[in-house]
A and B are shown apart, each in its own frame.
Chain A
Amino acid sequence: MPGPSHTGMVEKRGAGHWLSHAGLILGVLIIAFPIWLAFVASTVTNQEIVQPPMPLWPGDRFYENYSNALVSGINAPVARMLMNSAVMALGIALGKILISLLSAFAIVYFRFPGRRLFFWLIFLTLMLPVEVRIVPTYEVAANLNLLNSYSGLIFPLIASATATFLFRQFFMTVPDELAEAARVDGARPMRFFWDILVPMSRTNMAALFVILFIYGWNQYLWPLLITTDPSMNTIVMGIKQMFPSGDDYADWPVIMATSILAMLPPVIVVITMQKLFIRGLVDTEK
Chain B
Amino acid sequence: MATITLDNIKKSFGKTDVIHGVSIDIEDGEFIVIVGPSGCGKSTLLRMVAGLETITGGEVQIGGTRVNETEPMDRDIAMVFQNYALYPHMSVFDNMAYGLKIAKTPKSEIAERVAVAAKMLQLEPYLTRRPRELSGGQRQRVAMGRAIVRKPKAFLFDEPLSNLDAKLRVQMRLEIKALQRELGITALYVTHDQVEAMTLADRMIVMNAGVADQIGAPLEVYANPLTEFVAGFIGSPATNFLPAAALPGTPASAARVGIRPEHAWLSTEGEARLTGTAVYSEALGAETLVHLRLPDGEMFTIRQDGARAQPAEHQTCHVAWDTDQQMEFDEAGRRI
Q: How far is the CA of A42 from the CA of B124 in the complex (A)?
A: 62
A101-128 residues at the B interface, CB under 8 angstroms: none
> Binding site of B, secondary structure by majority: helix, strand, loop or mixed?
loop
Q: Which residue of B lies closest to A191 (CB)?
A: B102
On whether the beta carbons of B71 and A185 are closer than 8 Å, the reply is no
Q: What residues of B have a CB within 8 angstroms of the CB of A186 in the complex? A: 73, 99, 102-103
On whether the beta carbons of B89 and A285 are closer than 8 Å, the reply is yes
On whether the beta carbons of A180 and B52 are closer than 8 Å, the reply is yes
Q: How far is the CA of A185 from the CA of B78 in the complex (A)?
A: 8
Residue B14 lies at the interface, judged by CB distance under 8 Å to chain A? no
Q: What residues of A have a CB within 8 angstroms of the CB of B130 in the complex? A: 285
Query: How distant is A26 from chain B, measured CB to nearest CB, in Å?
Result: 45
Q: What residues of A have a CB within 8 angstroms of the CB of B132 in the complex? A: 285
> Binding site of A, secondary structure by majority: helix, strand, loop or mixed?
helix
On whether the beta carbons of A185 and B89 are closer than 8 Å, the reply is no
Q: How far is the CA of A191 from the CA of B102 in the complex (A)?
A: 9
On whether the beta carbons of B85 and A178 are closer than 8 Å, the reply is yes
A-side interface size class: 10 to 19
Q: What residues of B have a CB within 8 angstroms of the CB of A175 in the complex? A: 83, 85
On whether the beta carbons of A184 and B78 are closer than 8 Å, the reply is yes
Q: How far is the CA of A149 from the CA of B82 in the complex (A)?
A: 53
Residue A248 lies at the interface, judged by CB distance under 8 Å to chain B? no
Q: What residues of A have a CB within 8 angstroms of the CB of B86 in the complex? A: 181
A163-202 residues at the B interface, CB under 8 angstroms: 175, 177-178, 180-188, 191, 195-196, 199-200
Which single member of B72, B81, B88, B103 contacts A285 (CB below 8 Å)? Answer: B88
Q: How far is the CA of A188 from the CA of B102 in the complex (A)?
A: 9
B102-157 residues at the A interface, CB under 8 angstroms: 102-103, 130, 132, 146, 150
B48-80 residues at the A interface, CB under 8 angstroms: 50-52, 71-73, 77-79
Q: What residues of A have a CB within 8 angstroms of the CB of B81 in the complex? A: 177, 180-181
Q: How far is the CA of A187 from the CA of B83 in the complex (A)?
A: 19
Residue A286 lies at the interface, judged by CB distance under 8 Å to chain B? yes
Which single member of A184, A191, A200 contacts B89 (CB below 8 Å)? Answer: A200
On whether the beta carbons of A196 and B87 are closer than 8 Å, the reply is yes
Q: What residues of B have a CB within 8 angstroms of the CB of A187 in the complex? A: 73, 98, 102
Q: What residues of B have a CB within 8 angstroms of the CB of A185 in the complex? A: 73, 98-99, 102, 146, 150
Q: What residues of A have a CB within 8 angstroms of the CB of B150 in the complex? A: 185
Query: How distant is B43 from chain A, measured CB to nearest CB, in Å?
Result: 11
On whether the beta carbons of A177 and B83 are closer than 8 Å, the reply is yes
Query: How distant is B327 from chain A, measured CB to nearest CB, in Å?
Result: 39
Q: What residues of A have a CB within 8 angstroms of the CB of B50 in the complex? A: 180, 184
Q: Which residue of A lies closest to B81 (CB)?
A: A177
Q: Which residue of A lies closest to B50 (CB)?
A: A184
Q: What residues of A have a CB within 8 angstroms of the CB of B87 in the complex? A: 178, 181-182, 195-196
On whether the beta carbons of A184 and B72 are closer than 8 Å, the reply is yes
On whether the beta carbons of B103 and A199 are closer than 8 Å, the reply is no
Interface string of B275-301 (1 = CB under 8 A from A): 000000000000000000000000000
Known: A177-B85, A185-B98. 4 other contacts (CB 8 A): A177-B81, A177-B83, A183-B72, A185-B73
